[in-house]
Amino acid sequence: MAALTDLTIAEARDALRSREVSATELTAEYSAVVEAIRPLNAFITETLDLAAEQAKQSEAKLAAGTGGALEGIPLGIKDLFCTEGVLTTAGSHILDGFIPPYESTVSGNLKRAGAVMLGKLNMDEFAMGSANITSYYGPVHSPWSRKGDNRPLVPGGSSGGSAAAVAARAVMAATGTDTGGSIRQPAAFAGIVGLKPTYGRCSRWGVVAFASSLDQAGPMTRSVRDAAIMLGAMAGFDPKDSTSADIDLPDFETALTGDIRGLRIGIPKEYRLDGTNPEILKLWDQGIAWAKAAGAEIVEVSLPHTKYALATYYIIAPAEASSNLARYDGVRFGLRVPGDTLDEMYANTRAAGFGAEVKRRIMIGTYVLSAGYYDAYYLKAQKVRALIARDFAQAFEKVDLLLAPTAPTPAFALGEKMDDPIAMYLNDVFTVPASLAGLPAISIPAGLNSDGLPLGLQLIGKPFDEMTVLRAAGVLETAAAFTAKPEFVGAGQ
């Protein structure tokens, strides 16, 4: 058998059920890697003792034949999910010492399925970022590095801790959240699979809010099958989230038939942007060739409003964030910096508690919502958002799926692009449109560039059609046969 930390969830599940491996053994192996990769700063909080306890309970359940779908599987949880009794920071100073008295629906679903939590993963502050450099707890380093160059690279963001931990084999899978690309872009940078489900598929209850009309939880894994398994456990209707979809949950694993003959795959011509890294364009062509060879029909489609997507997102997301983040006032949660008056206490707390990027977003958000500018910015952005969604709906009259790159560049070094927020926002150019339209989308690792860094391909599907997204992703995954591993993998390798 492969090293325990190289097993996929699907393989580990079989090994656990046949008692070839024990949950305790598996958790211990992973815990050793969690300790070994501490220099990457992927975790904000480790819960290894709790994990050992949970693994023991899983062992009893497996022995009794009552194990859940993820019984004994060691996972990491992005620190945006409230976890009962375990520090939850959203990567922010303002949530200092916040120990939620409740569990988010998604992490609760995973727990109930038997998953073992190894810890809470580092992330950009309030999920705002594309490089995991805005965390109050410091940047995360990617486990990958460029050939012959040991400068630390970013893992992508905002789910950078999740991406780094999954790629470095410190967890078998992790949760991420995606508001404008934060599952897919770090998955592409780290050479793993990241699935953003349809908006409404996974409950937002107990997930610290960034931009509520966009936020969506999803799995980050090392295989497409694992993404299907994780999604099955995470998703489902939740009456506690008013935008949760009351819709049947298919068995996502059955999507992986390996057959995409006759599937119509659209290639959005507006995604061929000037300035996109040529190796990424080449990989895109390679993806098209793989899909064709597997019997799919390739159709060029047009999404004419794509060029407005980033501007639209960077109005809507900050607007919602400015409203959501009003709750951090020093009274209800976390940090409090005293002042002579109540107003001064609010101001002191927020000045000390939020980092620069969060403050920038709050200012942009309050500006675009202010009386004089609401019509010119926020309302206009809402209208453009509807046009972007309509572009997709029209394309999906002709095709079943869309294929595009995930990100316009491979991972960059820590320090590059850092002083220019606009350059950073450009990372999201291929991921934001599907977010604005609420569509399911996946990134799969499809190749390495000449520096030896992973590159991702993205498939975007119709609303609630994760089945087709997973089916095609499975076929591309097989064709790509991506087996590369980062250099920085922990103990036991």
Instruction: Report, in Å, the least distance between residue 180 CB and ligand GLN.
Output: 3
Among the residue ranges 175-183, 217-225, 255-263, 369-377, the one whose residues contact ligand GLN (CB under 6 A):
175-183
Per annotation, catalytic residue among 158, 203, 322, 435? 158
Instruction: Report, in Å, the least distance between residue 409 CB and ligand GLN.
Output: 13
Instruction: Report, in Å, the least distance between residue 129 CB and ligand GLN.
Output: 5
Instruction: Report, in Å, the least distance between residue 428 CB and ligand GLN.
Output: 5
Asked if 34 is part of the footprint of ligand GLN (rule: CB under 6 A), the reply reads no
- CA–CA gap between residue 201 and residue 181 (Å, rounded): 16
Q: Which of residues 297-356 bind ligand GLN (CB under 6 A)?
A: 317
**Cross-strand bridge partners of residue 413:** 153
Among the residue ranges 176-184, 223-231, 232-240, 334-342, the one whose residues contact ligand GLN (CB under 6 A):
176-184
Please pick, from the candidates 83, 104, 182, 409, the single residue that binds ligand GLN as defined by CB under 6 A.
Answer: 182
Structure tokens at 365: 């958000």
Interaction pattern, residues 414-433, with ligand GLN; x per rule: CB under 6 A:
--------------x-----
Nearer to ligand GLN, 67 or 438 (CB): 438
Interaction pattern, residues 118-137, with ligand GLN; x per rule: CB under 6 A:
---------xxxx-------
Asked if 178 is part of the footprint of ligand GLN (rule: CB under 6 A), the reply reads yes
Number of residues lying near ligand GLN (CB under 6 A): 13
Structure tokens at 99: 């120990």
Backbone angles phi, psi at 198, to 5 degrees: -60, 140
Nearer to ligand GLN, 128 or 245 (CB): 128
Instruction: Report, in Å, the least distance between residue 123 CB and ligand GLN.
Output: 8
Contact 260, 297 (CB under 8 A): no
Strand order of the sheet with strand 43-46? 43-46, 116-121, 74-78, 173-178, 216-221, 193-196, 441-448, 454-461, 401-405, 264-268, 297-301
Per annotation, catalytic residue among 182, 223, 322, 443? 182
Please pick, from the candidates 155, 161, 180, 353, the single residue that binds ligand GLN as defined by CB under 6 A.
Answer: 180
**Helix, strand, or coil (residue 421):** helix
DSSP strand pairing (74-78 vs 173-178): parallel
Task: Look up 182 and say whether it is catalytic.
Answer: yes
Residue 301 DSSP code: E
Structure tokens at 98: 């916040």
Nearer to ligand GLN, 128 or 174 (CB): 128
Question: Which residue from 140, 94, 85, 93 is spatially nearest to 117, judged by alpha carbons?
Answer: 85
- CA–CA gap between residue 11 and residue 223 (Å, rounded): 11
Please pick, from the candidates 58, 107, 158, 406, the single residue that binds ligand GLN as defined by CB under 6 A.
Answer: 158
Task: Look up 18 and say whether it is catalytic.
Answer: no
Structure tokens at 375: 């019509």
Backbone angles phi, psi at 431, to 5 degrees: -100, -30
DSSP code string of 12-62? HHHHHHTTSS-HHHHHHHHHHHHHHTGGG--EEEE-HHHHHHHHHHHHHHH
Nearer to ligand GLN, 127 or 154 (CB): 127
Instruction: Report, in Å, the least distance between residue 29 CB and ligand GLN.
Output: 31
Task: Look up 223 and say whether it is catalytic.
Answer: no
**Binding residues vs ligand GLN (CB under 6 A):** 127-130, 158, 178-182, 210, 317, 428
Active site positions, annotated: 78, 158, 182
